[in-house]
Structure 1
């Protein structure tokens, strides 16, 4: 059923950047406010930076033709706001570097005001960085590390802590340090330096600026301690220039074709991020390709890759050790909206919020509790690389439980396949704030809940998703939990309600077989009158997860056998 959004919760935001003007209408209506559902979005490819520097390379006022085009775009967006019934006080226009530094900024903003009656809020350098950092915070469940936002005219550096506990977002008092090294600006500066033979001087300038910026941020000791333990910071990147770099990295990922199309939540190692030569070669090849080139990398973005590479190279030497890089979709628009949410809302997990809207009977989280009880929590023989307790968190399992019955209305031929696609092109594709790892986990869990058998058209996609899983043990647990979930759904065909709770219980421990091999011992307890021969196949399916022929690869060594014992309990409501 489609969600009906009350107009009073709608917010329209215009982000007037250097490379383009982005419009969006989002909803801050509970209970989905945390993921800020987007009802409408549009981008006008009007470069205010080019308007001030092309073709001479010297700064000039924004010309009348560009101003006219901007005003026409604003008028169209105003009509769209009327169509969606966005309240008048729900519209915000935010302008950044290109508008802030324009020679005729006052006249430019006055023209917009005359055309649509909207005031333009110019973000100061530090405020732009603060709002951008909030956009990053909105993009992921948890954030802890350094943040950079690469726009067209400038780039911002900051640090950010948003662990949801406590719920408040922490960042420097000044928000961020802004530097005039945006993707478009760097393209011009690098070209000039190459002509004048001053490339080394430019690199030293950028490195000094970044080093000074980092020093001025006074990164808290807690973040520095984490970086020491984990051998480096996590660097969170946003902005069009960095996203273009990320899409090139995705096109060169070891798993091909890379199965998740959205850039938000994509992660790579320091070495992958700094493979500058390979990224540049891929971008050049994209420009020379008469075909489609690289997905989501326009010719303009591909042309800016050398300048971004220059900046990335300087960052590698100026910033402290970076362990990994995480790409984020959230920018000024998302940051502005996220700033309006209370701490309690910002602390929610995006996956849980997104799946709660589906009508899945799950009284008091009963299904989530059943799934958790099927995971052993006692010490026992396990492989050191098996981190299932950290992987299958309560948030992930709660999202899984919320969607356990969603594909029940589909034909049996479609259930596994539709579930597999649910996080990339299905019901959760548009959810803001999800890690790639969680998209993979949830998709594979749901697929296995319906048996895991997909048609030939989806087999390559499923294999690619499985390749993104961090270890074969995680794949094993996906198969196990999928089988357990199918058993739960068999016992509770309409979900867990107040009138039927207590039909089923699990307890699990890790142990060993008689041969000393690792084993999961699962006890399945049915309430009296709830057990029937109809559940025998579902119980056997759980046990079969431990059979060697079901393991993904014998070469990686022994996984876990599964020993299932069933019992009946006399009281339906006493479990």
Structure 2
């Protein structure tokens, strides 16, 4: 891996409504697309709450709070010096709470005088635009409506970024900002419940959301795509929505949910709108004898009723929503993503993240071999659509890591491999879908034989339950075994002096009973096939019916190996 160059470091202070986030990221090639974080720290100073007295009256941010902010800034300034961050590459971004504070100008002046940093006050529309770019950074492709729920406000917009495309399209006006952040809604809802005006508040929020949607002028192509798909995808970011996502994780059909990061988590419309279940789970977590929900603080749990109120209003006001995606990206990630050249933004995060581990620099040849192990067309129709699952990006990422665990002892290889996307080398990578984390983990595990110790069996089983179809699980077992053969033939990777040792070709045939038969032709140039009996038999075993994916109707294909 390349030596860290401090000239590529970027320090960011994100002054949010619920807290202040400090971070140092690297935009050094070749991994700038995933914006690796070297340092991050959050100070729980709520600049929104600081502007209200105990009686609920609006007030300026107090000197005590300002002093606390400045103290945390000075600490981060020292941290930036420790990391050798260039002084010109530290930015302070302020959002709703700071921008609308009564003493906003004086607040900024004190920071400048005592710390030496200018505060960039993001206008409402720009805050939404930067937040949308943060969402674009969080996934390989995005196409739908986006919402960022902060403490003081929420922004609504639309965005289109196709996988591999350099272009990120969004509303020319940036985003529509509404004063319905998690903290603000909590305050408004409490007041409405006291005065018996929750119905009026609901109508107000619904009207504001409907008006915001009309203002955005969502492109017809996006509307048509949503109609064909059965609704829009809604991309959600911000602390309030992330808290909602973690509660949904805690209620997921797979328990414990095996992926700890929120970014890339998907929920159906029904799950997202199950507000009563979420409210009950959050309320239970606040009781003294119950465990807290992972990554849901007491403050976030206390805001759940307000977020539920907003979610219900969204369901009534927005067009049909098919599914939601939760994103980690916000102002910080959006600011960094905006700085990247278009051709870098077009890169696939999981490929960029795994390329540094391609030590033999032979992954392209390995990926081509893996691709050739798939028949050109599917034999089983739409329910076995392996081409849309095992995309070039997934195969490239898999090939990049095929040799990574070679130095581990045999009893550790499959275990380390299956955990690498959730607690290992790829755990902190920004921009990866949960589906991709799951797929890559299981592929790598099966590349090393798929056998894990009892302590990891439940984790593996939970990952397998996240795979949407049993056909995909079967192909994971198959292509993992094929990767094992490729790595055995090329133990040090594919090089100029050993190209052509192995060639694969797959095609469909039929058994005597008319069932599908996957014929894999294996050509070993100048090699004794008996030396690779174990790897070849491992592929054949995947085709044995007892190894098919079980249930009432076993799923799989018989495999016939032809040595040519």
Q: Could you say which TM-score interval applies, normalised by the shorter chain?
A: over 0.9
User: Would you say the 8 A contact 2:156–2:175 is kept in 1?
Assistant: yes
Alignment of 1:286-297 (within 5 A): 286-297=285-296
Provide, for residues 39-98 of structure 1, a one-character-per-residue CA deviation record: whole Å limited to 9, x for no partner. Answer: 000000000011001412121000011000000000000000000000011101000000
Q: Distance in 1 between matches of 2:433 and 2:511?
A: 37
Question: Shift of residue 362 of structure 1?
Answer: 4.1
Q: Distance in 2 between matches of 1:258 and 1:307?
A: 25
Q: Distance in 2 between matches of 1:53 and 1:313?
A: 27
Secondary structure of the equivalent of 2:537?
helix
Taking structure 1 as the reference length, the TM-score comes to 0.97
Question: What residue in structure 1 maps to residue 534 of structure 2?
Answer: 537
Cα distance change on mapping 1:406 and 1:363 into 2, 3 Å: closer
Aligned pair count reads 564
Question: Shift of residue 361 of structure 1?
Answer: 1.9
Question: Shift of residue 384 of structure 1?
Answer: 3.3
RMSD: 1.1
Q: Distance in 1 between matches of 2:354 and 2:21?
A: 28
Q: Distance in 2 between matches of 1:114 and 1:342?
A: 34
Q: Distance in 1 between matches of 2:283 and 2:497?
A: 64
Are residues 1:106 and 2:93 paired? no
Question: What residue in structure 1 maps to residue 371 of structure 2?
Answer: 372
Question: What residue in structure 1 maps to residue 429 of structure 2?
Answer: 431
Cα distance change on mapping 1:342 and 1:547 into 2, 3 Å: same
Q: Distance in 1 between matches of 2:53 and 2:387?
A: 56
Secondary structure of the equivalent of 1:555?
coil
Alignment of 1:434-513 (within 5 A): 434-513=432-511
Question: What residue in structure 1 maps to residue 543 of structure 2?
Answer: 546
User: Would you say the 8 A contact 2:284–2:290 is kept in 1?
Assistant: no
Question: What residue in structure 1 maps to residue 198 of structure 2?
Answer: 199
Question: What residue in structure 1 maps to residue 49 of structure 2?
Answer: 50
Secondary structure of the equivalent of 1:5?
coil
Secondary structure of the equivalent of 1:304?
helix
Q: Distance in 2 between matches of 1:236 and 1:384?
A: 27
Question: Shift of residue 557 of structure 1?
Answer: 3.6
User: Would you say the 8 A contact 2:164–2:347 is kept in 1?
Assistant: no
Q: Distance in 2 between matches of 1:524 and 1:418?
A: 29
Secondary structure of the equivalent of 2:23?
strand
Provide, for residues 387-422 of structure 1, a one-character-per-residue CA deviation record: whole Å limited to 9, x for no partner. Answer: 210000000000000000000000111000000000
Secondary structure of the equivalent of 2:538?
helix
Question: What residue in structure 2 maps to residue 556 of structure 1?
Answer: 553
Secondary structure of the equivalent of 1:43?
strand
Question: Shift of residue 558 of structure 1?
Answer: 4.3
Secondary structure of the equivalent of 2:374?
coil
Secondary structure of the equivalent of 2:157?
strand
Cα distance change on mapping 1:364 and 1:400 into 2, 3 Å: closer
Q: Distance in 2 between matches of 1:356 and 1:204?
A: 51
Q: Distance in 2 between matches of 1:471 and 1:309?
A: 31
Question: Shift of residue 222 of structure 1?
Answer: 1.0
Q: Distance in 2 between matches of 1:110 and 1:136?
A: 31
User: Would you say the 8 A contact 1:518–1:559 is kept in 2?
Assistant: no
Question: Shift of residue 212 of structure 1?
Answer: 0.4
Question: Shift of residue 266 of structure 1?
Answer: 0.1
Q: Distance in 2 between matches of 1:164 and 1:111?
A: 44
Question: What residue in structure 1 maps to residue 272 of structure 2?
Answer: 273
Question: What residue in structure 1 maps to residue 8 of structure 2?
Answer: 9
Question: What residue in structure 2 maps to residue 571 of structure 1?
Answer: none
Question: Shift of residue 165 of structure 1?
Answer: 4.5
Q: Distance in 2 between matches of 1:263 and 1:218?
A: 30
Alignment of 1:188-267 (within 5 A): 188-267=187-266
Question: What residue in structure 1 maps to residue 32 of structure 2?
Answer: 33
The match for 1:521 among 519, 522, 538 is: 519
Question: What residue in structure 2 maps to residue 570 of structure 1?
Answer: none
Secondary structure of the equivalent of 1:430?
coil
Question: Shift of residue 364 of structure 1?
Answer: 6.9
Q: Distance in 2 between matches of 1:42 and 1:475?
A: 39
User: Would you say the 8 A contact 1:152–1:185 is kept in 2?
Assistant: yes
User: Would you say the 8 A contact 1:363–1:498 is kept in 2?
Assistant: no
User: Would you say the 8 A contact 2:149–2:181 is kept in 1?
Assistant: yes
Segments of 5+ residues of structure 1 without an aligned counterpart are 568-575
Q: Distance in 1 between matches of 2:334 and 2:377?
A: 42
Provide, for residues 145-184 of structure 1, a one-character-per-residue CA deviation record: whole Å limited to 9, x for no partner. Answer: 0000000000000000111443111001011000000000
Question: Shift of residue 555 of structure 1?
Answer: 1.6
Segments of 5+ residues of structure 2 without an aligned counterpart are none
User: Would you say the 8 A contact 1:362–1:401 is kept in 2?
Assistant: no
The match for 1:412 among 389, 410, 413 is: 410
User: Would you say the 8 A contact 2:363–2:399 is kept in 1?
Assistant: no
User: Would you say the 8 A contact 1:12–1:86 is kept in 2?
Assistant: yes
